[in-house]
A and B are shown apart, each in its own frame.
Chain A
Amino acid sequence: MLRRTAYALLVLALAGTATACGRSAPDPAAAADARGPITVWLSNNAQEVQWGKAMVASWNERHPDQHVTAQQIPAGKTSEEAISASIIAGTTACLAFNTSPAAVPTFQKQNGLVSLSDFPDGEKYITERGGSLTDQYRSTDGKFYQLPWKSNPVMILYNKKLFAKAGLDPEHPKLATYKEFLDTSRKLVHSGAAKAAIWPSPSSDFFQPWYDFYPAFAAQSGGKQLIEDGKPQFDSSAGRQVAGFWRRLYAEKLAPQEAYPGDSLNDGKAAMATVGPWALAAYKNSVDIGVAPVPTADGGSDKHSFSDEKSAAMFSSCKNRATAWDVLKFASSAGQDGNFLETTGQMPMREHLTEKYAGYFEAHPTYKAFADQAERVVEVPNVPGSIDIWQTFRDEWTKSVVFGRESTPAGLRNASSEITDLLNEYGDPS
């Protein structure tokens, strides 16, 4: 009896496992032309949810036979983790309007994405909408697995009241060069106006360089990506200048070495932050915000910054891909992009925003600086092993820049060498 019970249990367990492993995916050829109801995921930003619901309601009114359901993306530490887990489980929505370009190579490797270039008008639509910035979003096989949807170009946001308290001119802050930025930071902290001049998270998360190192590197290097032509670019004069600048901020205690458990700018603990325009709506009732470009060694204008872009992507679990593609085009149309800008203050990935949406920027002048910056943004490199690469960079940055446990040139050199090895490994995984 016991032996039979044991056999029965084993068979049950194996059957369960086999069933779990044997989930089927839709046939790509049939799904490409299929129409019907779909689900879309939105980020959990309140303004984006508001826009998304309005967009979906508008679609549903015109297409009652292809009903769209909008949901917020499942909870997770990051939306990349939530999406990755859903790809493995086969439970992704048809579309997600919150896909980080850094995660796209991973999603591709998981066979979780649909190539948008394979739709007859895919290439044309994406390149015409995004203009010259679009090519940064092509995958290594030359196809688009993401629609570059919106950017949040990172700039310096500062608290005007704290600047005034420190005896600084809040309307004309001196933040253009590293020297000016450091002098201003010293005045802010030493006067007691703020505990920290600026407080980016010093934690080890792979994505944190996007808010301290990368915007400054994009500005200092004239718009270089972390990796170009298969080679790391940051072990260079520009990279060393940026690392040296940040190390001084940490060494002089102008930037704390411990993560702030909340929003330091909103709480008045830090006088500045490196953020995109999404934050303006969050601060509008609590902080009198000013905006300035990311500093460089010599100052000057028309510098680049990190895009903090999010794409829209279609997932391979989608059964009605023809509807999904139409919804994607509808959601990223000129009219919906205008609604999106109006509702969220975030920048649609289109060229010449200030001309296209002149009325909005006239009524909201603070956002105009971000629209100008959106013309000069740098994306994370679209390479396999992207997250591994950023984690490697972050580990060396934390060691050398945040905690000064090795020289910054040595930190950059080590990171460059390790990342070169990773690129070779991913290029030749055998």
Chain B
Amino acid sequence: MSVNLQSAPAAVRDSAPARREGPRKARGLSRVGALFVSPYVLFLVVVFAVPLVYTVWISFHRFYFTAPGTDVDSPWVGLSNYKDVFTDPVVGRAFLNIVIFLVINVPLTVGVSLVLATALNAKIRGRAFFRAAFYLPYVTASVALVAVWQFLFGSDGFVNHLLGSHAPDPSWLVNSHLAMPMIAVFVTWKQLGFFVMLYLASLQNVGKELYEASAMDGAGRVRQFFSVTVPGVRPATTLVVIYAIITGANLFSEPYLLTGGGGPDHASTSPVLLMYQKGIEQGHPDFAAALGVVLVAFVMVVSLAARKLTERGN
């Protein structure tokens, strides 16, 4: 029996050339596409992949930076740098500080930015102004914001003037119990605008009919928030949580500027600040590289755990 392609259904006709090109498309082998992505791939290789591999290499060797053309041995030392990292009490303190930071910053970021985004998503007067106002700290240089924070929370600052004899002693930014929470609150405030924007975009995808249906069932605004809004923006919440964790784990400028390089007794030293002090100030890039690798592993584990947690019940 012969098959007349002219009279065959369109789907069958179209399938003939599709079978020829299918495997090629499936493997993504498009010359134009490869050409377009090649600058970015090159950028990724040069700026991320090569330094990452080099960092891991350094972390297994005794290594220090030298002048060009200098022939210096960098002997393999196995896990020695990692042993130094895990036995250094300051490293332990730095990771504890990050845990304190994340415990305060992540829930606060998610909660406040979602509530604010929900409020800014409603038809309120001056909505555009408020959206810009919350975004302003995010686009302002950290140095300028630190000056505001010091004006408020310095030992001679505005808040202590209000509190009088009830002000903490030592003051907020040099108090070993308060320094890290203060940094966590500062970063939450600074980053809020970005996360509000993420939630605002996500809220546009939550169907209005869900709100109408829940209203008809007698749900109030609070019930709607927890039963419609929160599940509706869950993918955004996952993104916000992971992004906040990564930002928190990379904390540098805030402890560096707010508490004068780690604060009293390393109360606000972060792993990245410690990498800078060890690698750049004290000339131990091998230690800093090992610490960096440990930090990457830490971020991956915490991010995966957070993702499991936020996507639970999906």
Contacts and interface: CB of A to CB of B under 8 A. Distances in A.
A17 B156 CA distance: 50
B265 A403 contact: yes
B130 interface: no
Contacts of B281: 81, 206, 387, 391
Contacts, number: 131
Contact of A109 (B154, B277, B283): B283
Interface residues of B, number: 47
A402 B67 contact: no
Interface in B271-302: 277, 280-284
A261 B45 CA distance: 41
Interface stretch (A4-12, A38-46, A126-134, A357-365): A4-12
Contact of B266 (A84, A110, A256, A395): A395
Interface string B139-183: 000000001001000111000000000000011011010000000
B204 interface: no
B264 A429 contact: no
Contacts of A90: 67-69
Contacts of A388: 282-284
A403 B41 contact: no
Contact of A258 (B173, B176, B261): B173
Given A2-B28, A258-B174, A111 B280 contact: no
A164 interface: no
Contacts of B62: 429
Interface string B103-142: 0000000000000000000000000000000000000000
Instruction: Say which size band chain A's interface belongs to.
Output: 35 or more
Given A5-B34, A258-B174, A403-B170, A204 B263 contact: yes
User: Of residues B42, B64, B281, which shows the largest number of chain A Cβ atoms within 10 Å of its Cβ?
Assistant: B281
Contact of A88 (B31, B41, B65, B90): B65
A203 B46 CA distance: 37
Contact of A13 (B49, B70, B156, B284): B49
30 contacts: A1-B29, A10-B45, A12-B42, A12-B46, A17-B54, A25-B68, A25-B70, A84-B65, A88-B65, A111-B67, A111-B70, A202-B260, A203-B260, A203-B261, A206-B281, A256-B155, A257-B170, A257-B171, A258-B170, A258-B171, A259-B260, A261-B147, A316-B67, A317-B67, A387-B281, A388-B284, A391-B277, A395-B266, A399-B265, A403-B264
Interface of B: 27-29, 31, 34-35, 38, 41-42, 45-46, 49-50, 54, 62, 64-70, 72, 90, 147, 150, 154-156, 170-171, 173-174, 176, 260-266, 277, 280-284
